[in-house]
């Protein structure tokens, strides 16, 4: 996700910010959030997480392997959030 942000988020700009957050809410599991202040998603990119690109395939595989959930938002930059369930 960091590589994708670095490669795609800041086209036409000299700099930008990529933020990585890992949080744990009690026994709820972990949430990994990677977001940037880049260009966001193009208007015609309705479901980028369904892309056949290597980066998105890797993200989907990681999410599936760990029975996690994936959330993607593309306004004001791009935010990818993966919520991993608690391990019992």
For 43-65, write each residue's pLDDT tens digit. Answer: 766 677 777 788 888 999 999 99
CA 51 to chain centre: 13
Question: What six digits make up the tokens of 38?
Answer: 């880049």
pLDDT at 27 over 90: no
The structure's pTM equals 0.84
The sheet carrying 18-24 orders its strands as 18-24, 30-36, 79-84, 69-73
Q: Report the pLDDT value the prediction gives residue 45, as an integer from 0 to 100.
A: 67
């Amino acid at each position: 996700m960091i590589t994708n942000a670095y490669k795609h988020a800041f086209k036409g700009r000299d700099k930008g910010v990529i933020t990585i957050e890992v949080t744990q809410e009690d026994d709820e599991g972990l949430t990994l959030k990677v977001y940037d202040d880049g260009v966001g998603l193009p208007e015609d990119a309705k479901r980028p997480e369904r892309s056949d690109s290597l980066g998105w395939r890797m993200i989907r595989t990681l999410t599936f392997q760990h029975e996690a959930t994936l959330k993607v938002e593309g306004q004001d930059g791009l935010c990818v959030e993966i919520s991993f369930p608690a391990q019992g």
